[in-house]
């Protein structure tokens, strides 16, 4: 990451407050699917296509099985 920016990660984390992303340290990672709200940031993509955080979340949701509710069983 190069630069400093305020980033909206609410679509990923559910957190309504924007976070600061800047080079170095634990605040340098920028997740795909987030939105830069102010300033400018340059990033380097290090994850291969199909292996992103969003891809992993989609695979978890698609692979999850849901148990039927008692009402569904009774029907």
Domain that holds residue 38: 2-74
Residue 10's pLDDT is what? Answer: 92
Q: Is this prediction's pTM over 0.85?
A: no
Which domain CATH number covers 47?
2.70.150.10
- Count how many domains the chain has: 1
- Residue 37 CB partners (closer than 8 Å, separation 6+): 5, 6, 7, 8, 18
pLDDT digits over 30-72, tens only?
888 889 998 888 888 888 988 888 888 888 888 887 788 889 8
Q: Kindly tell me if the per-residue pLDDT of 29 is higher than 90.
A: no
């Amino acid at each position: 990451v190069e630069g400093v920016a305020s980033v909206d990660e609410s679509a990923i984390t559910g957190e309504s407050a924007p976070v600061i992303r800047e080079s170095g340290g634990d605040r340098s990672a920028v997740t795909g699917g987030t939105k830069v709200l102010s300033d400018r940031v340059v990033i380097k993509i290090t994850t291969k296509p199909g292996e992103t955080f969003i891809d992993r979340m989609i695979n978890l949701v698609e692979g999850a099985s849901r148990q039927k509710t008692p009402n569904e069983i009774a029907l």
